[in-house]
Amino acid sequence: MSNIRDVAKVAGVSIATVSRALSAPETVSKASLKKVHDAIEQVQYKPNMLARNFRRHRAFNIVVLVPNMANTFFATVVRGIEDVAQQHGYGVLLGDTRDVLQREEEYLKLVETSQADGVIQLRPHWEGNSILPRDNIVAVSACGCENTPYPCVRIDNAEASKTATEYLISLGHKRIGVITGLADNPHTIDRLKGYRDAISEAGIEYNDMMIAEGEFTMWSGLNAARHFIRMPADERPTAILSMNDEMAIGAIKAFRANKIDVPNDVSIIGFDDIEVSRYTEPALTTIAQPAEQIGKAAANMLLKLIEGKEVRQTDYVLPFEFVVRASSTPVK
C-alpha cells in the first residue's frame, strides 16, 4: 500500500502539497496539482482514511439504533438516513438493538470510543428507559414523540390518530377499538391521546374493553384481535384503529379466520403505510408517515449538529397523510 510520502517522492513535491492537493486543491498551483495527480495514478495511491480520520478526530460515521431492522417502516427510515449520510461522506453503522437496552449501550460505545460521530435513535424516547440524551453524545431522535429531550424529527402522532378516529366516527362508528403497542410505549401514549380526544369530542365514552395491547408485530396484532373476537357481536367494536400496519395485518388474519368480515363486520385502520398495505385483502386504510423524509431530515439535522452548525428547529414535525383504502367502510 502506497502512502502520501510515495506520492510526494514521485511527484517531486512535499507531502504537505500532496495533502493539500487532496483536501484543499484550490490552495495548490495547477502545475503541482497535475504532478500530484499523475503520481497518485502511477503509484496507485489510495488515501488511508483511518489515518486521516484519526488525525482529524472524526470518524465520519454515524450509528443508527433500530429496534428491528426487519421492520419495513424502520428499514425505509434507515434508507433515507443512509442516502443523506452517503452524500455527505459519512458511513452508516447499523445498530439493530432488538429492543434491548443493553445492546443500545453497546452501540453507543462506538460514539464514546470515537468510532462514530453521532447517533440517530429510532426507538422513541421513553422516560426511565432510555440511554439518551447523554453528555458528549450528539444524538437525534427519528420517528419519536412529543417532548423528546433532544433533537427530534417526527410526525404529530396524536393528531394522526385523532384524524383516523374522526374519520371512523364520521362513518358512523361508535364502538371503536384500538390495538396499541405496549402500554408504556410513548407512541402508544401519544396515539391513544389522539383517539381519546376524538371520541371525547364526539361524545363517545371511553371504554377499557375497546383497548387491546400488542407490540407492533403481526403476531401480536393477531393475538390482540382475539380479545375483540371473544366479545359478543353486539358489543364488539365495529371499527378498529391499529397503531401500526403490521398489527392491522395480523388482526385481519384473525378476523377472517373467525368469519368476521373486514370491512363489512369490522373496519380496520393501520398506521405507517408500509408497502404491503396496498396489497392486503382488503387493502389497508392507514396513516402514511413520510418514512424516508423523516430519515433524511434526521440525518441532515445530525450532520449539522456534528459539524457544529446551527440547527433552527430541534423539534421538526413533518406532515402525515391519511390514506383511505378498502379496509374501512360506513357502519352497517
Partner DNA sequence: CTGAAAGCGCTAACAC
Partner DNA sequence: GTGTTAGCGCTTTCAG
Binding site for DNA (CB under 7 A): 1, 3-5, 12-17, 19-20, 22-23, 27-29, 31-32, 47-48, 51-52, 54-57
At 317, is the secondary structure helix, strand, or coil?
A: strand
Whole-angstrom Cα distance, residue 112 to residue 136?
8
DSSP symbol at 42 = H
Q: Which of 279, 308, 309, 312 touches its own copies (CB under 8 A)?
A: 279
Q: Which of 33, 47, 197, 231 touches its own copies (CB under 8 A)?
A: 47
Question: In this structure, what C-alpha cell is assigned to residue 235?
Answer: 358489543
Whole-angstrom Cα distance, residue 27 to residue 17?
9
Whole-angstrom Cα distance, residue 176 to residue 174?
6
Cβ nearer to DNA, comparing 34 with 278: 34
- The reply to whether 133 sits near its own copies by the rule CB under 8 A is no
- The reply to whether 108 sits near its own copies by the rule CB under 8 A is no
Neighbours of 160 (CB within 10 A): 21
Residue 47 CB, shortest distance to DNA, in Å, is 4
Whole-angstrom Cα distance, residue 268 to residue 326?
9
Question: In this structure, what C-alpha cell is assigned to residue 37?
Answer: 495527480
Please give the backbone phi and psi of residue 221, each rounded to the nearest 5 degrees, phi first: -70, -40
- The reply to whether 250 sits near its own copies by the rule CB under 8 A is yes
Cβ nearer to its own copies, comparing 75 with 331: 75
Residue 123, C-beta contacts closer than 8 angstroms, at least 6 positions apart: 65, 67, 97, 99, 104, 130
Could you give the strand order of the β-sheet that contains 211-213, starting from the edge strand earlier in sequence? 211-213, 176-180, 239-242, 267-272, 285-288, 321-323
Residue 6 CB, shortest distance to DNA, in Å, is 8
Residue 127 CB, shortest distance to DNA, in Å, is 34
Cβ nearer to DNA, comparing 18 with 297: 18
Residue 21 CB, shortest distance to DNA, in Å, is 8
In DSSP notation, 55-75 reads HHT---EEEEEES-TTSHHHH
Please give the backbone phi and psi of residue 315, each rounded to the nearest 5 degrees, phi first: -130, 95
Closest CA to 44 of 78, 13, 3, 97: 3
- The reply to whether 82 sits near its own copies by the rule CB under 8 A is yes
Residue 309 CB, shortest distance to its own copies, in Å, is 22
- The reply to whether 61 sits near its own copies by the rule CB under 8 A is yes
DSSP symbol at 246 = H
The one of its own copies, DNA, none whose footprint includes residue 4, by CB under 5 to 8 A per kind, is DNA
Q: Which of 30, 57, 309, 332 touches its own copies (CB under 8 A)?
A: 57
Question: In this structure, what C-alpha cell is assigned to residue 292?
Answer: 424516508
The one of its own copies, DNA, none whose footprint includes residue 91, by CB under 5 to 8 A per kind, is its own copies
- The reply to whether 78 sits near its own copies by the rule CB under 8 A is yes
Residue 65 CB, shortest distance to DNA, in Å, is 24
Q: Which of 94, 101, 209, 324 touches its own copies (CB under 8 A)?
A: 94
The one of its own copies, DNA, none whose footprint includes residue 110, by CB under 5 to 8 A per kind, is its own copies
Whole-angstrom Cα distance, residue 248 to residue 243?
8
Binding residues for its own copies (CB under 8 A): 46-51, 53-54, 57, 59-61, 63, 69-72, 75-76, 78-79, 82-83, 86, 91-94, 96, 103, 106, 110, 112-115, 218, 222, 249-250, 252-253, 256, 275-276, 278-281
